[in-house]
Amino acid sequence: MELMKHQQMAVERAKTGTDLGLFFEVGTGKTATAITILRNIFNIHRQVVPTLIIGPLAVIYNWKREIAKWAPKIPEGKIKVLTGSLDKRIANLDKLTNDIVITNIDAFAYTKFVDAIMKFGPMVLIVDESHMCKTPNAKRSKNIYQVARRTSYRYILTGTPILNSPMDIFMQFKILDLGKTFGDNFYIFRNKFFHDENAKWSGRQGYFPKFVPTPELFPILSQMIESKSVRALKKDCLDLPPMVDMLITVDLTPEQSKLYKQMKDNFLAWYEQANKASVATIALTKALRLQQIVSGHLVLDDGTVVPVDCKPRLDAVEGILEQVINEHKVIIWCVFKHDYKVLGELLTKMKIKHVFLTGEQNGKEKEEAINSFETDISVRCIIGNRRAGGTGVNLIQASYAITYSRNFSLGDELQSEARNHRMGSQVHEKITKVNICAHNTIDEVITEALKNKQDISTTIIDRIKEVK
């Protein structure tokens, strides 16, 4: 298998140093690039050296599969995926020396596990989806940095190094080059390159700082980022099939309409009385309740889930599947647990063989589901959670993707979109993305905003008010 031009350029760039950021847009082949860089390191040392690959739980088995594809001479026994309890992982680490260890980021919140990693002594560190380590004060970010300090080679991979603010880059680069580019103190970095737009309100009730890049220093910041990274965008380096967007608008049932209006009125009344400076997260959670009603259920204050009639929405999914399922494999994306149940029941009724890809599954179960979908011609559909299955997973067998329910995250939208619109999807004439959207609800606003690549999580209140 041959690398594409942008991948080859990154591999050559990696030969000139010991750290590099691969800021490849999802679907442009950052995993294959990193594995080729890793092979070059092994060739230099004439053996597999202790290597640690960290990523979200959803991607760790994919790394093992991709290593077998891009570095077939590495014995399978040298590739160890660590899952399960901390004690089990630590016991497995004690047996390893010159091996490739693959594990998930969340494990680094535990000091006991970090100590075992230190004892293993990785020479190479690869952090996949490094934007998950962007928070300087997070325990797992601090612990991964401590591991990074002991390594000789470091690489960070993500398509979204700056997800919310350019300040996101600081901790990722601290892990990458141990502070050589931006120093090791976040507040010195922030004060140098950013200023508080709301500083004039400091000391007043409701004040909340808003740090934005200082205009005259932003080009310098950008140059510093580029000095240690390679950027790749789909539009510049891939000849992918066109992505066709379809919007199917459905009505709410009378039951949904009544509950939606009540929830919206209560939500707006609550917001008018709330302290606007401190309710952002709570407001987002409450707004998500509206989306739950739209998708077909209501969550009570005690956590009880009450099904809500959503026949038009399910009928829309059924109509699409009836037309395409014999010729095309299909992903159905959703965000709520209740959705898995009703969609699974629908597919069972339609006698469509399907698998699930959700946050409730462990790494092995996810891997089995992905393999079944990719290799078993009889498995026609996969029902996936946008967050659990939308990162680092290859689902190029699907030429259709239906979004049944959605949250407000642009990151989740882009990640899930790239699961079947990526390298390898050239086997399809086109990729069709179908959005199921409830008329005259916040569903319409979110769908349009995400289509235009807008993250509306910070403006959700105003958007809700827009829908009459």
Backbone CA torsion sign across 403, 405, 407, 408: positive
Shared domain check, 166 and 48: yes
pLDDT digits (tens, 9 = 90+) for 172-231: 999 999 999 999 999 999 999 999 988 888 888 778 888 989 999 989 999 999 999 999
The pLDDT value recorded for residue 259 is 92
Contacts by 69-73 with C-beta closer than 8 Å and gap 24+? 69/1, 69/32, 70/1, 70/32, 70/35, 70/36, 70/39, 71/35, 71/36, 71/38, 71/39
Shared domain check, 87 and 60: yes
Shared domain check, 254 and 214: no
For 23, phi and psi rounded to 5 degrees? Answer: -95, 70
pLDDT over threshold 80, residue 133: yes
Domain that holds residue 338: 243-466
Shared domain check, 268 and 181: no
The residue that leads in pLDDT, 393 or 458, is: 393
pLDDT digits (tens, 9 = 90+) for 234-250: 778 777 788 888 888 89
- Answer yes or no: are the C-beta atoms of 397 and 373 closer than 8 Å: yes
Contacts (Cβ under 8 Å, ≥6 apart) of 61:
81, 363, 364, 366, 367, 370
The pLDDT value recorded for residue 467 is 63
pLDDT over threshold 80, residue 343: yes
Shared domain check, 264 and 193: no
Contacts (Cβ under 8 Å, ≥6 apart) of 44:
none
At 444, the pLDDT band (50, 70, 90 cuts) reads confident
Q: How far is residue 456's CA from residue 158's CA, in Å, rounded to a whole number?
A: 22
For 432, phi and psi rounded to 5 degrees? Answer: -110, 125
Q: Measure Cα distances from 285 to 6, 105, 167, 365, 384 in Å.
A: 40, 25, 25, 29, 21
Shared domain check, 226 and 96: yes
pLDDT over threshold 90, residue 418: no
How many structural domains are present in the chain? 2
Shared domain check, 87 and 66: yes
Shared domain check, 260 and 199: no
pLDDT digits (tens, 9 = 90+) for 379-417: 999 999 987 765 668 899 999 999 999 888 887 888 888
Task: Name the amino acid, one letter, at 268.
Answer: L
End position of a domain, from candidates 237, 258, 283 = 237
pLDDT over threshold 70, residue 81: yes
Shared domain check, 285 and 226: no
Contacts (Cβ under 8 Å, ≥6 apart) of 68:
74, 76, 79
* Max Cα distance, the chain (Å): 69
Burial of 166 (0-12, 13-18, 19+ CB in 10 A): middle
Shared domain check, 169 and 34: yes
The residue that leads in pLDDT, 191 or 165, is: 191
What CATH number is associated with residue 174?
3.40.50.10810
pLDDT digits (tens, 9 = 90+) for 287-330: 888 899 999 999 887 888 999 999 999 999 999 999 899 999 99
pLDDT digits (tens, 9 = 90+) for 261-294: 998 888 888 777 766 555 666 777 778 888 999 9
